[in-house]
């Protein structure tokens, strides 16, 4: 057990194909306190878990997620690119992941990062129905780099917990102000932005700090020293090293 909680980035993506059930299961099994993943919409309005705009890098398919149907997406192999051991791995739906988190015997935080805006409120409510039916509403933290996406989530489901993701380069006070204005409960900064002062100021404003994506041992130790509340990492068990691999 680590002193500071680990959130498995795209699942246990250091050793397993990112954003697949096998990576989420592995993250949970090695004791991660949270799972981070990326949410996108298919052409036919289904929520799926994939990082990139296109399926090309992490599957045997081609094209934009938004131009493919759920059926087409689920035909793709999302494991072979990573290692032969994972041939046949599929892209999960949001529902599959939510059901897995809900049935897991230990409480795990689920961090859904919304990569694209949800085009209408009814569709957004459908995502929340999935989460609520599974009984994990309070376990889920919704994050995005796009403030308008977080605002839309909070408008449709007002008591939803959201976190603002930030790129390096933004001043601490500006990030904190933006997060407060949305009603966020946390900031997810690039780890290069994090200092003890940054964390202190965020905490004084009632915001938790969950930096991404911290894989290096020294940087993990520094984040802990800075006082962050969780570390988003591809290596929830150990840390990256020269020998690391699938
Ligand atoms: O949620 C933290 C981190 O995943 C944000 O960046 O590009 O890996 O989705 P990215
Ligand atoms: Ca992400």
Give the ligand with the smallest distance to the CA of 145. 1
Q: Check if 9 is active-site.
A: yes
State how beta strands 186-189 and 34-41 pair.
unpaired
Q: For ligand 1, say whether the CB of 208 is within 6 Å of any of its atoms.
A: no
Q: In Å, how far are 84, 86, 148 from 14, measured between CA atoms?
A: 15, 14, 31
Q: For ligand 1, say whether the CB of 143 is within 6 Å of any of its atoms.
A: yes
Domains in the chain, CATH or no CATH each: 1-97 (3.20.20.190)
Confirm if 34 and 110 have CB atoms less than 8 A apart. yes
pLDDT at 142: 98
Per-residue pLDDT tens for 206-241?
999 999 999 999 999 999 999 999 999 999 998 777
pLDDT at 12: 98
pLDDT at 246: 54
d(CA 207, CA 95) in angstroms, rounded, equals 29
Q: How far is CA 50 from the centre of its chain?
A: 10
CA atoms 142, 146, 174, 154: torsion sign:
negative
Mutate to test the pocket of ligand 1, among 6, 7, 8, 9 (most ligand atoms within 8 A of CB): 9
Closest by CA position to 187, among listed 34, 198, 114: 198
d(CA 235, CA 213) in angstroms, rounded, equals 10
pLDDT at 241: 72
pLDDT at 62: 98
Q: Enumerate residue ranges in the chain where pLDDT < 70.
A: 243-246
| SS3 per-residue string spanning 216-240 | CHHHHHHHHHHCCCCEEECCCCCCC
Sequence-distant (6+) residues with CB within 8 A of 122 are none
Residues that place a CB less than 5 A from ion ligand 2: 38, 113
Place of tokens 């691999």: 245
Question: What ipTM did this prediction achieve?
Answer: 0.99
pTM of the prediction? Answer: 0.97
pLDDT at 2: 81
- Measure the CA angle with vertex 34, ends 32 and 39; round to 5°: 130
Closest by CA position to 70, among listed 42, 37, 99: 42
Rounded distance from Cα 52 to ligand 2 centre (Å): 9
CA-nearest residue for atom 3, ligand 1, is 212
């Amino acid at each position: 057990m680590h002193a500071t909680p680990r959130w498995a980035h795209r699942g246990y993506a250091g050793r397993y194909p990112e954003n697949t059930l096998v990576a989420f299961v592995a993250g949970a099994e090695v004791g991660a306190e949270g799972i981070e993943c990326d949410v996108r919409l298919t052409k036919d309005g289904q929520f799926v878990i994939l990082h990139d705009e296109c399926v090309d890098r992490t599957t045997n398919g081609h094209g934009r997620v938004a131009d493919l149907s759920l059926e087409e997406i689920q035909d793709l192999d999302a494991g072979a690119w990573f290692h032969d051991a994972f041939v046949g791995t599929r892209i999960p739906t949001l529902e599959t992941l939510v059901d897995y988190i809900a049935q897991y015997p230990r409480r795990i935080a689920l961090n859904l990062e919304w990569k694209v805006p949800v085009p209408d409120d009814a569709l957004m409510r459908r995502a929340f129905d999935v989460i609520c039916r599974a009984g994990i509403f309070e376990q889920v933290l919704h994050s995005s780099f796009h403030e308008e996406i977080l605002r839309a989530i909070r408008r449709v489901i007002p008591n939803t917990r959201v976190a603002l993701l930030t790129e390096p380069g933004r001043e601490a006070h500006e990030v904190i102000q933006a997060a407060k204005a949305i009603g966020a409960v946390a900031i997810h900064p690039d780890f290069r932005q994090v200092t003890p002062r940054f964390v202190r100021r965020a905490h004084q404003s009632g915001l938790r700090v969950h930096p991404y994506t911290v894989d290096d041992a020294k940087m993990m130790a520094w984040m802990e020293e800075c006082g962050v509340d969780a570390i988003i990492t591809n290596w929830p068990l150990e840390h990256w090293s020269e020998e690391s691999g699938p």
